[in-house]
Structure 1
């Protein structure tokens, strides 16, 4: 089958689909779309054969299947959805489940639109996310940095430290007055460090090319453990955060 008929496409709505390898019946990709999106992967894999370096693992898998004289099996997991956000939710849940049942088998590069915000996490994390207690009164100036685009329950201590320490547009005396830096995800404190040796990002650092040609650079710091501030971990600092997009902010001691 090369695609849905016009009549089927018009009534299908948004749907979530699985790409299955006919050689072992395994699901190797989960996606969402409308119309004939589910069948577009075979065409793009064929087009990329002239540029092997640009081929993704998914495209190579499809090419291997075709080389054996077979076709990718397309299954529709859920259909008739009225909106893309609804399809995103189903896609994300399906990806999370597949990664639990058969770790390492999916070739998706992106884990789903809502993976970080509402993806797979332990029950304890759900409790923290929705019922975190307010953080204790702040006695010293601190800096909050947003981990919203970086945080995941599976991150290692080293990965969390790197996400908290690097790289921010923070500079000047206000930054240097902050005695601690809190890494915050969805208003909840996930990391606490004492900043040492703030320095600008230079050539060789991760993402340094982003600063080339600009009249500013991002800054990062060497982190020291802060066990004396452990009472702030997994507590809510939402009272300091306005409902706008932010990357970092300074918080003065509370009177």
Structure 2
């Protein structure tokens, strides 16, 4: 689901804004009407709030405003609307898991994952709060227990089980996250580590998992995992257990956009990433052309093209061979295709996708 995030750089951005300059300007009408103590209090309270909450995520803009400004009195006079608007304008959309019990990992994905190292991340501030190892559905053990009362399968345990006090604390945090309207982020740091053929390979795998833990804890969730991870569990489930896509529309285009698999890829982000710059060819003449956006064989979005425009580079130079589309999501086609795998289509095309990312489907007469 989509939420909003106050970026970690929010304080620097606010301190450079016109609203902050207005707060400091003794000639400003709103500033001049306040005592020196009230002016200092307004500045200090707003700066502290933005600094303290930078990096936090909220269900929506309204909730962000309540949390950031709910306790600020601005020296007893309240915070000026221009400051509120400036701070809330810094919010950016971010994709987060929905609340509720997780779906079990399908058997096909369990078989591919084997023994793995996993991490749980609090989506409210992208902080890592638990790392463990397991197999099967172990990654969901704490969330399933906390939100659905599911008793974990002892077969999924690798190494020692979590002490009761630690498990209780983890599950209490999960319930708190759920109550705030979020779902826990479940990450796989390394998988199939039991297949290492030597102690050295096994040690290197675990070492890399440790580096991934440090990365998640230090800078928030990774947006674009490399070939070694980390991955969101949903991504791996899709890779190994997604159903094959149903027959494609008679005329459509498949566009490969690797960044659409990023953790922060909301519907709006995917749309902007997918629009350009394509050598569209004759498919550009097809009315209401369906565009299926995919990464790692998985369909991420489906758009209907309204019109095309010539592409211009960053300097404004026109490229007559490349095009940008403007369109809208197609709810019916998204319900049919999003989350399904194009692996059979890839096999029909020789087992790999074109480097350009543009894959027309069907013949335009």
Normalised by the length of structure 1, the TM-score is 0.51
Once the 2 structures are TM-superposed, how far is the Cα of residue 176 of structure 1 from its aligned partner?
2.7
| CA deviation profile, 1:199-253 (whole Å, cap 9, x unmatched) | 1112xxxx445977x7x43211112120011210010112222334411111129
Larger radius of gyration: 2
What SS class does the counterpart of residue 145 from structure 1 fall into? strand
1:181 aligns with 2:257: no
Q: Give the Cα–Cα distance (whole angstroms) in 1 for the partners of residues 293 and 214 of structure 2.
A: 30
Cα pair distance change 1:191/1:117, threshold 3 Å:
farther
What SS class does the counterpart of residue 201 from structure 1 fall into? strand
Residue of 248, 251, 267 corresponding to 1:138: 248
Once the 2 structures are TM-superposed, how far is the Cα of residue 150 of structure 1 from its aligned partner?
5.4
What SS class does the counterpart of residue 325 from structure 2 fall into? strand
Residue of 200, 205, 218 corresponding to 1:102: 218
Once the 2 structures are TM-superposed, how far is the Cα of residue 127 of structure 1 from its aligned partner?
0.7
Q: Which residue of 1 aligns with 2:31?
A: none
Unaligned runs of 5+ in 2: 1-198
Q: Which residue of 2 aligns with 1:119?
A: 229
Tell me the matched-pair count.
Answer: 157
- Retained in 2: the 8 A contact 1:201–1:208? no
Cα pair distance change 1:226/1:217, threshold 3 Å:
same
Q: Write out aligned runs for 1:195-206 (5 A).
A: 195-202=305-312
Which structure shows the bigger proportion of residues in helix conformation?
Answer: 2
Q: Give the Cα–Cα distance (whole angstroms) in 2 for the partners of residues 158 and 95 of structure 1.
A: 31
- Retained in 1: the 8 A contact 2:304–2:328? yes
Q: Give the Cα–Cα distance (whole angstroms) in 1 for the partners of residues 249 and 269 of structure 2.
A: 28
| CA deviation profile, 1:88-125 (whole Å, cap 9, x unmatched) | x7786455322322336x9xxxx79x824452233222
Residue of 319, 326, 341 corresponding to 1:236: 341
Once the 2 structures are TM-superposed, how far is the Cα of residue 157 of structure 1 from its aligned partner?
2.2
- Retained in 2: the 8 A contact 1:211–1:217? no
| CA deviation profile, 1:134-188 (whole Å, cap 9, x unmatched) | 11122431100011255313322222111111221213x3233272101111111
Once the 2 structures are TM-superposed, how far is the Cα of residue 133 of structure 1 from its aligned partner?
0.6
Higher relative contact order (CA 8 A, sep 6+): 1
Cα pair distance change 1:184/1:122, threshold 3 Å:
same
Q: Give the Cα–Cα distance (whole angstroms) in 2 for the partners of residues 220 and 235 of structure 1.
A: 26
Cα pair distance change 1:250/1:193, threshold 3 Å:
same
What SS class does the counterpart of residue 238 from structure 2 fall into? helix
1:153 aligns with 2:263: yes
- Retained in 2: the 8 A contact 1:201–1:219? yes
Q: Which residue of 1 aligns with 2:89?
A: none
Normalised by the length of structure 2, the TM-score is 0.37
- Retained in 1: the 8 A contact 2:225–2:231? no
